[in-house]
Amino acid sequence: MRNVLIRVATLATAAAALVAPSAPSAASAAQHLSFRPLSYNTNGYNWGGYAATGSGFTSVSASWTEANATCNSTNDLYAPWVGIDGYGSSSVEQTGVATDCSSGHAVHQAWYEMYPAAPVYLSTSSYPVAAGDRISASVNYTGSNHYALKLVNSSRGWTYSTTKTLSAARTSAEVIIESPTGAYPNFGTLNFTSALVNGQALGNFGPTALDPSNGAYEARTSALSGGTSFSDTYLRE
C-alpha cells in the first residue's frame, strides 16, 4: 500500500469458521480504509498502546469494554485491536472493533485484516457490537504461514473465528488503538486488560508505549499495570 490514505473499492469475502458475514453496512464501511503498519503513517503516527518487538511472535490477546464514543466529525474513525507484525514490518495480522462516524454518529463494527489485503468487516446483524460490550480478541500463528483470528463479544454471546494465510515476519506483537483517518472520536478512556503475548504478560517483553500524534497528542497511553493492563485516554480532536 502506498504511504497515503487510499479508499478501497471493495472488501474481500470473509472466509470464516462460522457463517460468512454478509456485506458491510453502508454506514460503518464507508471509510474503506486499511489499518496500516506504523511505518506507513507519515504525519506523526496514528497508533496508541503497546508494541513488543523481537522475533518469532506466535500469539497476542487482550480484552476491553467498547467505549461510548462521541463523534467530532464524519471523518472520525478508530479501532482497538490486537495483532502480530506492523511495527517495523510491512504486514499486519489483526482483529478488533472499528468505530466509524461517517454516517454522522458512532457505528461499531467488528473486523479483521491481513494487511496488505483490505479489511473485512463483519455483519452488524450477525455480529453486533455496541458501547459497553465486553470484547476479547486474539491472533495466533499456527504454523505454515497460517493465522487464527478470533473475536468474542461476551456481552452479546457471539464468537467469530477465521484462519488466514500470510507470509509475514512475526517481529512484533501489539495491543493498539488506531485511526486510519488520523481523526479520533472522543472515546473517553478505553481500558485494555489481560494483554498477553506468547501466553505471557505483555510487560514481560519490554514493549514500546505509543501515543497517537498528528502534530499534537490525540490520546495518551498509560503505564502498564501488572504487565497486562493499561488505558488509552482521548485528549483532543
C-alpha cell at 123: 455483519
**Residue 231 DSSP code:** E
Q: What local confidence, expressed as pLDDT, does residue 163 receive?
A: 98
For residue 128, the domain's CATH number is 2.60.120.700
Domain total in the chain: 1
For 8-60, the pLDDT digits (tens) are: 332 233 333 333 333 334 344 445 689 999 988 655 689 999 999 999 999 99
- Strand stretches in the chain, DSSP E: 47-53, 59-65, 77-84, 92-100, 107-115, 120-121, 134-143, 146-153, 158-165, 172-178, 189-197, 200-201, 208-210, 219-221, 230-234
Q: Which residue has the cell 505483555?
A: 202
Residue 199 lies in a domain: yes
For 101-130, the pLDDT digits (tens) are: 999 999 999 999 999 999 999 999 999 999
Mean pLDDT of 161-170: 98
How far is residue 92's CA from residue 220's CA, in Å, rounded to a whole number?
23
Active-site residue set: 178
Residue 21 lies in a domain: no
Does pLDDT of 159 surpass 60? Answer: yes
- Domain containing 155 equals 26-209+217-234
Q: What local confidence, expressed as pLDDT, does residue 183 receive?
A: 93
Does pLDDT of 6 surpass 50? Answer: no
